[in-house]
Amino acid sequence: MGSRLERTERLLNLVFCLMAAQRPVPRSTIRANVAGYDPDGSTEAFERMFERDKEELRGMGVPIDTVLDVNGDVAGYRILPSRYRLVDVDLTLEERSAVAL
CA angle, 8 as apex, 64 and 17 as ends, to 5°? Answer: 45
pLDDT at 1 over 70: no
pLDDT tens per residue across span 16-70: 999 999 999 999 999 999 999 998 999 999 999 999 999 999 999 999 999 999 9
Could you give the CA distance from residue 61 to residue 43 in angstroms, rounded to a whole number? 27
pLDDT at 101 over 90: no
Q: Taking each helix axis as running N to C, give the angle between helix 43-59 and helix 2-20, from 0 to 180 degrees, rounded to the nearest 10.
A: 80
Instruction: Please answer whether residues 83 and 73 qualify as being in contact, where contact means their C-beta atoms are separated by less than 8 angstroms.
Output: no
pLDDT at 89 over 80: yes
